[in-house]
Structure 1
């Protein structure tokens, strides 16, 4: 490595003083260089600084496989997180949950309901079930509409106790939040106008503008696939929006050529707009989970117990919610959307 030559006439240093200082810096750099190299190559000790943190995260990413299994075993025991929810003042004793209010049949307000246009949908059914278990009242919920790109920050900032918002479990998110066991299986899929020449996740995306939600698995998947050559290099990924439904609006306005999102959401959007349709099959397999704070172990375990009971309930459980909300858009066969038998491989 060639050192840059000092500029002549540096003001305020003085000739001899400047050279002495530069020499001292050069010696210091030479002494530190092996340690810097060692840290970048993974051979150095973790000092707890920024570099060490990045190394630990990279190491965790390499080791993380099957993220849907990295959760805690079910339990009905109370703990500090649940107790803090129950200790809220009278009138405020509610479960605070981040949800969507614009995802048709998942979390949305039906203007034709004839009532108060309360939130309803598959995710909302699950929220009510959790609230009933923890607080004894299915309606003891404070819903907070959270944009797609704020789901994790809302949990970390303490604005919500959990997020139930078609949120995919993945390794990157597990560094920031804890997840329940999966409660739904889906995969990334393309949505485009029926008249479009796009046929699926293939070469027909060349030169096409694709919309995704910021902070979504769709965007990270497309970036990764383009870098790996699985997505045509000329696909335009510059259009990102805070909320996934905004992509449908962009598509309707002709500002983008296609939308990539979870197939379960894409099917609901196609049901809202008969001029668009799903193009090709899903090209990933993903699982939705309930997201919570990383240290909320008691809440994670309680939610996992609720999920076990919800799936086993043959009268008003998972299957009933699927038939009520999703069969019209995803079909009568719920088997393809059922999550796998849960495994609880996280120990602490």
Structure 2
């Protein structure tokens, strides 16, 4: 029996590519437990060492699934703008932020303003029920509405073997639903493109966004964030036979793809010596990061600039691509919420506090080993939380 639900209507202003993906999965169709559901105990945590027998073949099936997106990706505009307003604001902020995030191994969360030194700091965890949590619990039907991705392998993707949403981010959403409702399946998933993450929260189309979203100084002016639940960095992905060696001179004359309103676009828009123009490269933007992989496979771009956490999963799907160079930033992922929902922020931070507990057997480490360890090796613990109160 399937539990939970997905709602394609949450993809406000979605492109043909996103719409095609939702149609394939069944708009407003039942969602719920992913293929790993049987590995979870009553508290929603993984039982150590267990994996479903069909997990390995998901990689091959997902590669085939990418081919279905080719036509849609070709139809997608080079620069996505849903009526021009919300996404433009986010893009402008990204460009301003990018000036502080272009040096290798630099903390991508820094900003010149003294008012924003540590954007990853959040509110201390409390199991409280304020206006936001009460609104969510009193909604009919009583379910959490979460904005997620359905195209990021290992993070938030539609498992072709089951048709269900699955991944590290999806498991975290279920843990939040478990804490609020006592039911990890009390979730409506709404798939949203990268550029619509902030507008969806501001318009209250969703309660939370769990979609590999980087916490930075520009975004905390528009939405609230939990403490960091993962740390990634921007890095280049190229074909195995590419002459591109790093984010630098070897990009001259090359086409570099990134998602609209992403941190990667901010890096490429930098006005200094490390922006696309200074490097002699051409920026290509698409609504969703997976569209970049499709264009790379078709030879329409020469490189993809994206979070290395996402790129590692894509390289696992497609052995013809690889990561090159070093991470350009250090970027903490956070759960995003409406700025006014301070009680929800504290409640989510309580979930994350519990998620980190238990050392190597914590729910976080179990989820990491299950979803990410094969492609992102060497992580021994979750990011430590930072609080501002």
Do they superpose with TM above 0.5? yes
Change in CA separation of 1:118 and 1:272 when aligned onto 2, cut-off 3 Å:
same
What is the aligned partner in structure 1 of residue 46 from structure 2? none
Q: Check the 8 A contact 1:208/1:234 in 2, yes or no.
A: no
Structure-2 separation of matches of 1:289 and 1:221 = 20
| 3-state SS of 2:354 partner | helix
| 1:1-348 equivalences in 2 (<5 Å) | 62=113, 63-69=115-121, 71-89=122-140, 92-112=141-161, 115=162, 117-224=163-270, 227-231=271-275, 233-313=278-358, 315=361, 317-331=363-377, 333-335=378-380, 338-339=382-383, 341-345=384-388, 347=389
Change in CA separation of 1:139 and 1:316 when aligned onto 2, cut-off 3 Å:
farther
Deviation of 1:313 (Å):
3.9
TM-score normalised by the chain length of structure 1: 0.77
Deviation of 1:235 (Å):
3.5
Q: Check the 8 A contact 2:119/2:215 in 1, yes or no.
A: yes
Q: Check the 8 A contact 1:192/1:259 in 2, yes or no.
A: yes
TM-score normalised by the chain length of structure 2: 0.69
Structure-2 separation of matches of 1:294 and 1:155 = 9
| 3-state SS of 1:142 partner | strand
What is the aligned partner in structure 1 of residue 107 from structure 2? none
What is the aligned partner in structure 1 of residue 28 from structure 2? none
Deviation of 1:238 (Å):
3.2
Structure-1 separation of matches of 2:362 and 2:118 = 30
Deviation of 1:231 (Å):
4.3
Q: Check the 8 A contact 2:293/2:304 in 1, yes or no.
A: yes
Q: Check the 8 A contact 1:61/1:171 in 2, yes or no.
A: no
> For residues 87-123 of structure 1, what are the alpha-carbon distances to aligned partners after superposition, in whole Å with 9 as ceiling and x for unaligned?
012xx110000000110010111112xx4x2111000
Structure with a larger share of its residues in helix: 1
Structure-2 separation of matches of 1:286 and 1:214 = 17
Deviation of 1:65 (Å):
1.7
Q: Check the 8 A contact 1:182/1:288 in 2, yes or no.
A: yes
Deviation of 1:202 (Å):
1.7
Q: Check the 8 A contact 2:126/2:349 in 1, yes or no.
A: yes
What is the aligned partner in structure 2 of residue 44 from structure 1? none
What is the aligned partner in structure 1 of residue 49 from structure 2? none
Deviation of 1:267 (Å):
0.5
Q: Check the 8 A contact 2:176/2:351 in 1, yes or no.
A: yes
Structure of higher CA gyration radius:
1
Structure 2: stretches of 5+ with no match in the other structure: 1-92, 98-110
| 3-state SS of 2:323 partner | strand
Q: Check the 8 A contact 2:146/2:208 in 1, yes or no.
A: yes
> For residues 154-178 of structure 1, what are the alpha-carbon distances to aligned partners after superposition, in whole Å with 9 as ceiling and x for unaligned?
1011100010000000011111100
